Amino acid sequence: MNQKMLEACARAAHEVNRAYCIAIGDDSQLPWEKAEEWQRQSAIKGIETALGGANPAEQHRAWVADKVADGWKYGPVKDPAKKEHPCLVDYQKLPQAQRAKDLLYTTIVSTMAVTLLQL
């Protein structure tokens, strides 16, 4: 998959994630065009993991490992300035709403990838 397709998948997954977050009361996600570069790069890295066949739990573990490697730690509230995030826990400890977000992410990625590769 070329870079343009990777970014298209990342954009779609980001926007679905943002819409889902709004639906569950989290207005912290900015649109793709206004997202910080680290957020866009994180989405692209997530696409690569998902395209490798990761299920939602594996996707979450890869996301946690990436965040921890970047200096993030658990915190009760997401705070990019402090690099704290409440989802830096084992997948099974995530609230159901957060596990659903991981499922949405992997579903969007696989759907976008199949569709784009058929074009």
Digit-coded pLDDT (tens) for 48-101: 999 898 999 999 999 999 999 999 999 999 998 999 999 999 999 999 999 999
pLDDT above 90: residue 38: no
Contacts of 89 (CB under 8 A, 6+ apart): 64, 74
Gap between the Cα atoms of 48 and 114, Å rounded:
14
Q: Which domain holds residue 39?
A: 3-118
Number of domains in the chain: 1
Tell me: the pLDDT tens digits for 9-19?
A: 999 999 999 99
Specify which residues 85 forms β-bridges with: 74
> Rounded to two decimals, what is the model's pTM?
0.86
pLDDT above 80: residue 119: no
Gap between the Cα atoms of 18 and 27, Å rounded:
8
